[in-house]
Amino acid sequence: MNASSSAARATIVWAMLMALPAAQTGIPKSTELNPGRVAPGNGNYIVIGCVSREGQGAPPTFVISDSRSKPPARYRLDGDLDLLRLHVGHTVEIGGPIAPASGARGGANAARPSFKVESLIYIATTCVNLQ
């Protein structure tokens, strides 16, 4: 192999390696809801946990389990269903107000407080036990 082809290959590899971090900036912005990070206080709370779907009903019911407390706190999520569906099985930080549990929805979710999703920040593609 001659020196000019080795130099050309090295240049291509270098360029690809320099572009790789730019291509791996994380999850696209359209998969986060972050109109300004919600700060705790004034009726707003921050929950960090795993998003899951409960049951097969329509519309779907999404829940977040915050494993920072014993036993883990679970909240029914009230937000963009497409966004929540995308984050099932992911660890996220969600900010917003919590509404007390109501009997409006039957089944297992009747006694679960509802968390209004005003901010969603992606953390990991897997569920992480934060204890």
36 or 50, greater pLDDT: 50
Map out the domains of the chain with their CATH numbers.
29-124 (2.40.50.140)
Residue percentage of the chain with pLDDT more than 90:
31
Residue closest to 74 by CA, chosen among 58, 60, 56, 94 = 94
What integer pLDDT is reported at residue 55 of this predicted model? 83
Selected residue with higher pLDDT from 65 and 24: 65
> How far apart, in whole angstroms, are the C-alpha atoms of residue 128 and residue 131?
9
Assess whether pLDDT exceeds 80 at residue 86.
Answer: yes
Averaged pLDDT for residues 44-52: 93
Q: Is the pTM of this model over 0.95?
A: no
